[in-house]
Amino acid sequence: MPSVYDFSAKTISGEMIPLSQFQGRVLLIVNVASRCGFTVQYTALEEIYRKYEPQGFSILGFPCNQFLNQEAGSDEEIQGFCQSRYDVTFPMFSKVDVNGSETHPLYRFLKNSKGGWFGVRHIGWNFTKFLVDRNGQVDRRFSTMTTPHAIEPHIQRLLAEKPNLQV
């Protein structure tokens, strides 16, 4: 069965990495933007990352400029903004498309795994969140409006489960 671990992505510093390096971890994958009304969610995302990272949790941030040009900067500018404004330490990746013909393959997989309201696959805005279990399968999808702290019980539940690593 396909999983998140089957994909690779370019980090914000330009290095292509396999997502299999996160195997066995609970992941929250988020399309982010620097000039959005929801950008303040970076604060809560970073708090949750620091709280649960030692238990096997990671957040993967994917900047996206598809929603009203709210992430127009270069990768270097985005990284500088995230570090200086929100002290982001969780892994950040290079800008991607989450909708349309140029959708990053990871996002194609995420959307096909869990649709949004009424099964809609399209991502409607920045800060849509996908929670992935330790086996690389999408457990839940959360809307932009769902605060990171509201996701904590789901993170805790998945962290309590052991991975089903198949040889």
Name the residues annotated as catalytic: 36
Residues 116 and 93: their CA atoms lie apart, in Å, by 23
Residues 56 and 6: their CA atoms lie apart, in Å, by 19
Nearest to 86 by CA among 39, 44, 42, 127: 42
Q: Are the C-beta atoms of 63 and 33 separated by less than 8 Å? A: yes
| H helix intervals, 3-147 | 41-52, 75-86, 105-113
